[in-house]
Chains A and B, each alone.
Chain A
Amino acid sequence: MHELSVCQALLDQVEGIAHDRNACEVTEINVRVGPLSGVEPELLQQAFRIACAGTLAEGARLNLSSMPIRVHCRTCGAETEAVPARLVCGECGDWRTRLVSGDDLLLTTVELSVAPAPADRKAAAH
C-alpha cells in the first residue's frame, strides 16, 4: 500500500507550509486525486488518519476531489471523456490520444490556524 508513503509526503509538505506561516494548527487539506494517479482515495483517507497523528495536521479534514479522465485526439482533434482502461478517442476511436486530465495528484490548498502576532494580541487586549 503505497498510499502511506504518498500520505507521508503530503504531510511533509503540509507541515513545511504550516511551519513557514507559524501556524499552530492545520484545519483542512485539499487534494486532487485523478483516477489515473495510481492512488486510491479511500486508502489515502485511511492512511491519513494514521499518519497525521502527532503532526500539526492531526485532526485536520482531508478533502479529496477527483477530475474526470479527458483525452485529446491527435487524429480528429476531439476532446472526450474516457475510462482508465480505455483511453481511445470517444469520437473517432483512434488510440493516438493525449491525456488532458485524470492523472492529477495535487495538493491544492491548505487551511491553517495561525496564532495572532504579539502586536495583534496587544490590540485585542485593549
Chain B
Amino acid sequence: MCNTCGCNVTHGNAHLLAPGAKLSRTVSGHESVSVLRHLLHENDRTAAHNRAHFDRHGVLAVNLMSSPGAGKTALLEATIDVLGKDRSIAVIEGDLETENDAERIRRRGVHAVQITTGSACHLDAHMVHDALHQLDLDQFDIVFIENVGNLVCPAGFDLGQHHNVVLLSTTEGDDKPAKYPVMFRAADLVLLSKCDLLPVLDDFNPDTARRHLQELASPAPVLELSARSGSGVDAWLDWLAAAGNTLLERRDHPDATGTERQLHIP
C-alpha cells in the first residue's frame, strides 16, 4: 500500500478521497488526486473521433509505418496503379518537410494531403483530424495515411486508422522486429518490401523476420512483395479487399461487430 501509484485507494475508502470529501485535502491545503488515465488520453479521444468519421462514411483507413526509405510511397504508387481503377483512393502524407511524396501521389491522379510536421517525428490524431477537413470522405473508399518514416515514435499514437501496416525492407535487416518491438507489436500486417533484392542480399531471411515477429506474440500475417517488380502485390490487394469488405459488413450489420472483427484479424 502506498501513496505513489494510487493502490491505497479502494472501493471502501474512495468516497473519502473524492473531490471536496473529508480526506481530499489536508489542513495545509495539500491535495492528492487519483487520476489513472492514459497520458495520451486527448490524442486517443481525437483518434476515436477520426475513426467514427471513417466508419460513418464506410472508408477504410490504413496507417502505413516504416523506417525512412522502406518504400511506403512506392507501395502506394503500385497500389494506385492497380487499385485506382476500381477504388477511389486518398492519401494523407506525413513528412517533416517537403511535398515531394504528395506530389508523387498526385502525379498518379490521386488526391493527396500533405502534413508537414516541422520537427515532429510522428503524426498524431489531431494532425490527421485537420487533414480530414480537406477531404470529402463521401468521395473515397480508402484513405492511406503515410506516417513519418520512423520505427519508434509513430507507434505510440493512434490516428483513428482501422489497420496498422508496417513495412520492413529487405535492406534493413531481418531482426528489426526484435529491435523495435513496440512498432512491430502494433502491426496488423507486415509487408517485407523490396523483395526483388533478395537474390543479391545474403543477410536477409524472410523466415527469420517472421520468427522475430512471432516472438513478439504477434499474429500479424507477413507478405513478401516488390513494388518495383510487382511481385506479391496481388496478395496485398487481397488483404486490403478483405479489410474493406469487413469494414462495410460491420457498418451494415453493427450488431455483429464482435464476430465480424474476428473474421479478418487472425
Which residue numbers of A lie inside 8 Å of B, CB to CB?
A: 1-2, 5-6, 9-10, 12-13, 17, 20-21, 23, 27, 30-32, 36-39, 63, 65, 71, 84-88, 95-99, 105-116
A101–B73 alpha-carbon span in the complex (Å): 35
A63–B5 alpha-carbon span in the complex (Å): 10
Residues of B within 8 A of A36 (CB): 181-182, 185
- Contact B178–A85 (Cβ < 8 Å): yes
Interface size class of B (residues with CB under 8 A): 35 or more
Q: Does B156 contact A (CB under 8 A)?
A: yes
A116–B25 alpha-carbon span in the complex (Å): 10
Q: Of the candidates B4, B36, B214, which one forms a contact with A63 in the assembled complex, judged by CB atoms under 8 Å apart?
A: B4
- Contact B6–A109 (Cβ < 8 Å): yes
Q: Of the candidates A12, A23, A63, which one forms a contact with B31 in the assembled complex, judged by CB atoms under 8 Å apart?
A: A23
Which residue numbers of B lie inside 8 Å of A, CB to CB?
A: 3-6, 19, 25, 29-43, 120-122, 124, 152-153, 155-157, 178-179, 181-182, 185, 212, 214-217, 219
- Contact A95–B31 (Cβ < 8 Å): no
Least CB distance from A20 to B in Å reads 8
Cross-chain pairs A/B with CB under 8 angstroms, 24 sampled: A9-B41, A13-B37, A13-B39, A13-B42, A17-B35, A20-B19, A30-B6, A31-B39, A36-B181, A38-B155, A39-B156, A84-B181, A86-B216, A87-B217, A97-B217, A105-B38, A106-B38, A106-B39, A107-B38, A108-B36, A109-B5, A110-B32, A112-B32, A114-B25
Least CB distance from B214 to A in Å reads 5
A6–B219 alpha-carbon span in the complex (Å): 28
Residues of B within 8 A of A9 (CB): 39-43
A87–B177 alpha-carbon span in the complex (Å): 12
Q: What's the dominant secondary structure at chain B's contact region?
A: mixed
- Contact B152–A2 (Cβ < 8 Å): yes
- Contact B41–A13 (Cβ < 8 Å): yes
- Contact B42–A12 (Cβ < 8 Å): yes
A116–B31 alpha-carbon span in the complex (Å): 11
Chain A residue with minimal CB distance to B32?
A111
Residues of A within 8 A of B33 (CB): 17, 21, 109-112
A110–B5 alpha-carbon span in the complex (Å): 10
Least CB distance from A85 to B in Å reads 4
- Contact B6–A95 (Cβ < 8 Å): no
Least CB distance from A65 to B in Å reads 6
- Contact A111–B181 (Cβ < 8 Å): no
Chain B residue with minimal CB distance to A124?
B27
- Contact A1–B121 (Cβ < 8 Å): yes
